[in-house]
Chain A
């Protein structure tokens, strides 16, 4: 680590005792970053900014919110009507949740496409999956707080899933509820946990960044930086690039906040929770739809249920599959056996990657629709394919795919081609 002499004596005095300035100098100013990162690399820092935005608005909302079944719905409406700019704070928070998932899903797919999870970044990747799990828990808990119809019935359906666990399932459900139905104790503990989880999330994010800074970012070519000619300091190059990306994001984000604030929401959640009236169509928030489709794909007569039919109920199979859908990401670094990181040099993987993206979109579409007619079979097939992609295709591709020649260094294609991008990157390979 470089020990830089700071000009300002106060900075020098502080830094000698607490090296915050050295730390910032090292992790921001000098932090060497590959020079060829494309805009898909913007989404990590963007996710961090969205998280800060969510925590800030959330803390203000908590000042005005009342976690009680008799007052929760009205207290949210009071925020919307009587608190100064309460509508803005709440809409930013509400749409911020959706934005967080959009940004993080893109971040994850970027990792999958460019093989960012491969050695030596396996732990970095796994920490990212842990962040996703924290996000899902936080989002689910938060959706219950406005105490609308979808809040109550979404919570009822999801918490009921735990009853599928043999022996202790019912006990767990009672523990989650704090009683025998989703009621006031449930709302209270969900509020408490919804406030707690984001800070757990921040903790995991910090460790995620520590792991990132150990070996630095991967890059679109997927080969390691081989010296100073391959990298540039994070500041000012990526600070300004991230800021520009943030600007574009904010234009889109505030477009929704100000002009279509309820685009991602369900109208039913503007009806106060009523345990006597079941909404006609219970759906989770959009970011859970693919997992919801996986859950519902396991019915008694589904072909994907047959292999485990002797062992468990379809409900338990569905619940396990739903969780496995996220947990499988933890082992992706070992399921993918190819030594080549970037899909740019993996002609087959590139195609399977896009098939997988389509599969996830199809799952989301199935999750949004009632499980009847063609949706049943489409849901089962796309669920099967989701796991086949990870458990069969990824391991086999590494063995059977012939990767295209990989450039020898980052500078070579970048400088040799004249412009960054795939076109430039392919050029030196012909000689390689």
Chain B
């Protein structure tokens, strides 16, 4: 009994302890970037969003899913209905059973969720040296530092410093906790050919795909901020009036 309790306590302590040392190893704080969607009035840059989708589809989608997005959501970032139908139709989804009781494959429709690159976690690990590429739907919300961290990570691949050995199948990244990351540097110059002819530098692609993933994590952001401004303005006026009424009523008391 006593042993068990000690084990649990020490496990919890150890978890906390190792966590902090891992964080300590990262050491470098991701630098703050100027994002189109930050600040009270921020909105997503439509060009960056569409280019970002191109980077996701051309580079990330080979390993990473964004299972919470549906193809129809792409309408919100400026793709036309025709474009969305075309994008969706490039993927196959399993449907059924049909009248004969058979499952069948059909092209994806705008109402379908983004098709995952691997059918299950085991397949994903088998295809990636045992590492699990995380789903990217919420990645910007699920990491400390958010978009700044993601951009820093994507552009933070460096040669390991002298004396640091990186095991086979791992890469060195100055922003990743512990510095050893299973994902090889994903971006290379001109990895995608942008439809709007923007030069596809690593920095550009990283910013674009980060904007796209920030939108994927918080598709409500623009509506939220728009409504927020109205609500706050209303509340400030209302509170000002309530204060005036309060003064008026309390004047009778004269303190």
A400 interface hit (Cβ, 8 Å): no
Stretch at the interface among A64-72, A244-252, A348-356: A244-252
B19 interface hit (Cβ, 8 Å): yes
Q: Are A258's CB and B228's CB within 8 A? A: yes
Q: Are B227's CB and A258's CB within 8 A? A: yes
Stretch at the interface among A18-26, A43-51, A274-282, A334-342: A274-282
Given contacts A281-B19, A372-B20, contact A315 B253 (CB under 8 A): no
Q: Are B235's CB and A371's CB within 8 A? A: no
Q: Are A259's CB and B143's CB within 8 A? A: no
Q: Are B224's CB and A258's CB within 8 A? A: yes
Q: Are B141's CB and A262's CB within 8 A? A: yes
Given contacts A77-B68, A244-B243, contact A371 B13 (CB under 8 A): yes
Q: Are A254's CB and B141's CB within 8 A? A: no
A271 interface hit (Cβ, 8 Å): yes
Q: Are A315's CB and B5's CB within 8 A? A: yes
Given contacts A240-B249, A244-B246, contact A163 B19 (CB under 8 A): no
Q: Identify the closest chain B residue to A153 (Cβ).
A: B15
* B-side contacts of A294, CB under 8 Å: none
Interface flags for A69-94 (1: CB within 8 Å of B; 0: not) read: 00000100100110000011001000
Q: Are A243's CB and B242's CB within 8 A? A: yes
Question: Contact partner of A240 among B4, B8, B228, B246, CB < 8 A?
Answer: B246
* A-side contacts of B224, CB under 8 Å: 87-88, 91, 258, 261
* A-side contacts of B177, CB under 8 Å: 280
Q: Are B255's CB and A280's CB within 8 A? A: no
Q: Are A267's CB and B142's CB within 8 A? A: yes
- A414 → B minimal CB distance (Å): 6
Interface flags for B54-96 (1: CB within 8 Å of A; 0: not) read: 0000000000000010000000000000000000000000000
Q: Are A81's CB and B5's CB within 8 A? A: no
Q: Are B40's CB and A259's CB within 8 A? A: yes
Given contacts A237-B250, A268-B142, contact A244 B220 (CB under 8 A): no
Q: Are A257's CB and B239's CB within 8 A? A: no
A313 interface hit (Cβ, 8 Å): yes
- A184 → B minimal CB distance (Å): 19
Q: Are A240's CB and B16's CB within 8 A? A: no
Which B residues from 209 to 255 make CB contacts under 8 A with A?
Answer: 217, 219-220, 224-225, 227-229, 231-232, 235-236, 238-239, 242-243, 245-246, 249-250, 253, 255
Question: Contact partner of A271 among B19, B138, B225, B245, CB < 8 A?
Answer: B138
A411 to B134, CA, bound (A): 67
- B132 → A minimal CB distance (Å): 9
Which B residues from 1 to 26 make CB contacts under 8 A with A?
Answer: 2, 4-6, 8-9, 12-13, 15-20, 22-23
B144 interface hit (Cβ, 8 Å): yes
* A-side contacts of B138, CB under 8 Å: 77, 270-271
- B19 → A minimal CB distance (Å): 3
Which A residues from 144 to 167 make CB contacts under 8 A with B?
Answer: 157, 160, 163-164
- B8 → A minimal CB distance (Å): 6
A420 interface hit (Cβ, 8 Å): yes
Question: Contact partner of A237 among B5, B141, B242, B249, CB < 8 A?
Answer: B249
Given contacts A88-B227, A270-B138, contact A247 B238 (CB under 8 A): yes
* B-side contacts of A248, CB under 8 Å: 239
A299 to B9, CA, bound (A): 9
Q: Are A244's CB and B242's CB within 8 A? A: yes
Q: Are B8's CB and A160's CB within 8 A? A: yes
Q: Identify the closest chain B residue to A254 (Cβ).
A: B231
Which A residues from 28 to 45 make CB contacts under 8 A with B?
Answer: 35
Q: Are B235's CB and A254's CB within 8 A? A: yes
List of 6 A-B pairs having minimum Cβ-Cβ separation, nearest first: A258-B228, A280-B19, A247-B239, A370-B20, A281-B19, A270-B142
26 A-B Cβ contacts within 8 A? A77-B68, A81-B68, A164-B5, A237-B249, A237-B253, A240-B242, A240-B250, A241-B250, A243-B242, A243-B246, A247-B238, A258-B224, A258-B228, A258-B231, A258-B232, A267-B143, A267-B144, A270-B217, A279-B15, A279-B19, A281-B23, A282-B15, A282-B19, A369-B20, A371-B13, A371-B16
Q: Which residues of B contact A (CB under 8 A)?
A: 2, 4-6, 8-9, 12-13, 15-20, 22-23, 40, 68, 134, 137-138, 141-144, 146, 177, 217, 219-220, 224-225, 227-229, 231-232, 235-236, 238-239, 242-243, 245-246, 249-250, 253, 255
